[in-house]
Amino acid sequence: MPLALRALLFRRTSEQAEITVDCDGEMFAVRLRRHAQARRYTLRIHVAAREVVLTMPPRGSLKQARAFAEKHGGWIAARLGRLPEAAPFADGALVPLRGVPHRIAHRPGMRGTVWTATDAGGGQLLCVAGNAPHIDRRIGDFLRREARRELETASLKFAASLGVAVKRITVRDQSSRWGSCSTTGLLSFSWRLILAPSHVLDYLAAHEVAHLVEMNHSARFWRLVQRLCPGHDRAKAWLEAHGADLHRYGLPDAGQPR
């Protein structure tokens, strides 16, 4: 990177990180991000964080960034308005686990962390011990552990079937993709797959493991996926119809701190 460009990118460490855009009386926060490779101003919605991100070119100015965001205020309002309503992890809230709705039940007087149970009417519960302020974190940690365990089991099973090796599996809160595979054998998945029906999680594991053989989406790749997961068409259809909804779980109510 040229020294002049490096200086532009790293000057003024206290540079304003956020601006506010007014659209028909409604205020929206827009996070600013300066990028060395950017050639123009761009806007995107970070679904998992429910935030607006404006990427600026190295020589871009705050004035130009604000004008660009204000020009697209209607787009920002429309996109944010289409996001599913946030569903915090709180006592009494419903959250899907492997596609089955579970009601969070706070059990402050009991020992342990998080466990599943059935109520008197046959409803599924996700019980959580401890103090109320820890419900969100404990439920989130539990779901991530479950996701990691099931994704590791499925991925290793499919890898053994194809005779390939998985170097490492990571579970994150990815908003742009459900899974990824590197040429070095690293698999990465969204923990939110544990919220979907089990056949959907299995499909994503099969999809990424198949990339260990075919790093493309050729006909040969899809034959491998079909071999590993014969019901993958149904899983793909489920994700297309319901996948966006999974990103609302564990998010705070509007205006509440994360």
DSSP state of 122: S
**Residue 144, pLDDT above cutoff 80:** yes
One-letter amino acid of 114: V
pLDDT band at 188 (very low <50, low <70, confident <90, very high): very high
**Residue 249, pLDDT above cutoff 90:** yes
Nearest to 148 by CA among 186, 179, 189: 189
Looking at residue 226, what is its pLDDT? Answer: 96
Looking at residue 7, what is its pLDDT? Answer: 52
Give the tens place of pLDDT for each residue, 87-117.
999 999 999 999 999 999 999 988 889 999 9
Give the tens place of pLDDT for each residue, 206-228.
999 999 999 999 999 999 999 99
Q: How many CB atoms lie within 10 A of CB 87?
A: 19
Residues sharing a CB contact under 8 Å with residue 65, sequence separation 6 or more, in sequence order: 19, 32, 41, 54, 56
